[in-house]
């Protein structure tokens, strides 16, 4: 009986030791050492993240300085030197835009690295708790498990019995504690996984933005080269081209307004009713790409000549242009010369669209076109058909007008 009693006590002591293993000195030492390494690694990453944040603030300060320089030059008299200074500042700002996003990408990558370490650490905690619970349960559910009545009969006194029952209660408390800890760690793990997914999404978005900024940067450089090639660094030639460009744009603006009124009256007579918009949305006229200049863009290179009434969409020379919606061709201004060439289409509900810098046309006035139909090829390369004066390089100038007044194409029109 003494032998059996000793084996019972040994079993209870083993269970208690397993249940309270987290407080054993050798385990504490090992776990503390691992935690110290992990904490040190996270601390170093946090330091790197803070450094990147500091770099971002410095870059943003420089960006503001270049923006101020651009604004100042734009307010001064239009000269070739001023125009080149504006372009130089825009190029420098574009370089900073790229540097800012690259720094932001590095910061996000560091944050992902930190979250990944925390996830691995949480996974280890979960495995440890699962193993802890499994060991206790395995010993508690042995086939020869002794009942409380057997323990009572085998004990010499009630005190011994109560002491051993207390051991079993401690084991149950330890299991409950481990399960709670397991649930808590699992919740934290899921939260950190969600955070990691969000950071990865942010990183992908930043990389797309970076590529767009790089394209815009090269577009800015091309603009400067194109202007230099056109004026051959002569101030007199630059001023002459400015006057021609201004006159060209004024004539185009006047024609567009006049022709739209005439076209709508003509359509009303033919149809006997008001022209209605029959498409769900406006599609992109060329593949969706970098916007080189926005509607009424304050940084538009020739804003001192006229407000930019549309958006410039980056497009290679000769890119097919599609009608963004069905409608009637009201104006085709194109004579195969280098003068500004454009197409205007009248749609329903007061909407019209303009496609500028066309290098080749496939429609004529009074044609009816359907949404998605190829109407022209893009242009913009200096000296080519339809490019116009002082063009900044290959792109499509695209306008949306509502009742004859230019509106922002990106303000809920293009989808």
Compute the distance between CA of residue 278 and CA of residue 346 in angstroms, rounded to an integer. 12
Kindly report the three-state secondary structure assignment for every residue of 109-136.
Answer: HHHHHHHHHHHHHHHHHHHHHHHHHHHH
Predicted pLDDT at 357: 95
Predicted pLDDT at 32: 64
**pLDDT tens-place string over residues 111-141:** 888 888 887 877 777 777 777 667 666 656 5
Predicted pLDDT at 300: 74
Q: Which domains does the chain have, with CATH numbers?
A: 2-229 (no CATH), 235-407 (2.70.70.10)
CB 310 within 8 A of CB 297: no
Res. 22 pLDDT band, cuts 50 70 90? very low
- Name, in order, each residue with C-beta under 8 angstroms of 241's C-beta and a sequence gap of 6 or more: 230, 231, 389, 390
**pLDDT tens-place string over residues 211-237:** 777 777 777 677 677 777 777 667 777
**pLDDT tens-place string over residues 143-163:** 445 555 554 455 555 555 455
- Torsion 32-37-39-40 (CA) sign: positive
Higher local confidence (pLDDT), 353 or 73: 353
Compute the distance between CA of residue 83 and CA of residue 63 in angstroms, rounded to an integer. 19
Q: If we measure between CA atoms, which residue out of 401, 404, 219, 272 comes closest to residue 324?
A: 401
Query: Which letter does DSSP use for residue 23 in this model?
Result: G
Higher local confidence (pLDDT), 359 or 66: 359
CB 196 within 8 A of CB 44: no
Q: If we measure between CA atoms, which residue out of 395, 409, 294 comes closest to residue 352?
A: 409
Res. 359 pLDDT band, cuts 50 70 90? very high
| Section 316-334 average pLDDT | 94
Region of 278 on the Ramachandran plot (φ > 0 left; ψ -120 to 50 alpha; else beta): alpha
Predicted pLDDT at 341: 94
Q: If we measure between CA atoms, which residue out of 365, 289, 353 comes closest to residue 322?
A: 353
List of E strands, 259-326: 291-293, 311-314, 320-322
**pLDDT tens-place string over residues 233-287:** 677 777 777 777 777 777 777 788 777 777 777 766 665 556 677 778 899 999 9
């Amino acid at each position: 009986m003494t032998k059996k009693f000793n084996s019972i006590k040994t079993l209870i002591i083993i269970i208690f030791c397993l249940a309270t293993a987290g407080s054993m000195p050798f385990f504490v030492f090992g776990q503390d050492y691992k935690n110290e390494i992990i904490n040190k690694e996270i601390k170093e990453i946090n330091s790197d993240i803070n450094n990147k944040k500091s770099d971002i603030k410095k870059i943003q300060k420089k960006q503001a300085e270049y923006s101020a320089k651009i604004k100042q030059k734009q307010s001064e008299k239009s000269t070739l030197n001023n125009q080149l200074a504006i372009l130089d500042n825009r190029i420098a700002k574009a370089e900073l835009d790229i540097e800012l996003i690259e720094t932001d990408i590095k910061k996000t990558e560091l944050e992902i690295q930190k979250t990944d370490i925390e996830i691995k650490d949480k996974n280890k905690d979960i495995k440890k708790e699962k193993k802890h619970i499994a060991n206790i349960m395995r010993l508690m559910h042995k086939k020869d498990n002794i009942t409380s009545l057997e323990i009572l009969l085998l004990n010499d006194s009630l005190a011994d019995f109560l002491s051993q029952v207390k051991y079993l209660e401690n084991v149950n408390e330890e299991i409950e504690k481990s399960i709670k800890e397991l649930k808590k760690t699992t919740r934290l793990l899921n939260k950190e996984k969600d955070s990691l997914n969000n950071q990865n999404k942010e990183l992908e978005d930043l990389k797309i933005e970076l590529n767009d900024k790089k394209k815009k940067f090269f577009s800015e450089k091309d603009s400067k080269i194109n202007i230099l090639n056109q004026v051959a660094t002569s101030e007199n030639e630059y001023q002459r081209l400015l006057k021609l460009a201004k006159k060209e744009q004024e004539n185009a603006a006047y024609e567009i307004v006049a022709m739209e009124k005439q076209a709508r009256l003509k359509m009303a007579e033919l149809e006997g009713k008001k022209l209605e918009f029959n498409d769900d949305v406006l599609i992109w006229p060329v593949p969706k790409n970098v916007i080189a200049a926005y509607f009424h863009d304050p940084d538009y290179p020739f804003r001192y000549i006229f407000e930019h009434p549309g958006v410039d969409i980056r497009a290679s020379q000769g890119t097919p242009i599609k009608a963004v919606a069905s409608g009637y061709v009201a104006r085709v201004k194109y004579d195969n010369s280098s003068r500004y060439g454009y197409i205007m289409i009248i749609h329903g509900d007061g909407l019209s669209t303009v496609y500028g810098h066309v290098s080749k046309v496939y429609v004529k006035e009074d044609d009816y076109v359907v949404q998605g139909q190829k109407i022209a090829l893009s242009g913009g390369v200096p000296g080519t058909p339809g490019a116009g004066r002082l063009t900044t390089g290959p792109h499509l100038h695209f306008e949306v007008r509502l009742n004859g007044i230019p509106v922002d194409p990106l303000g809920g029109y293009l989808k």
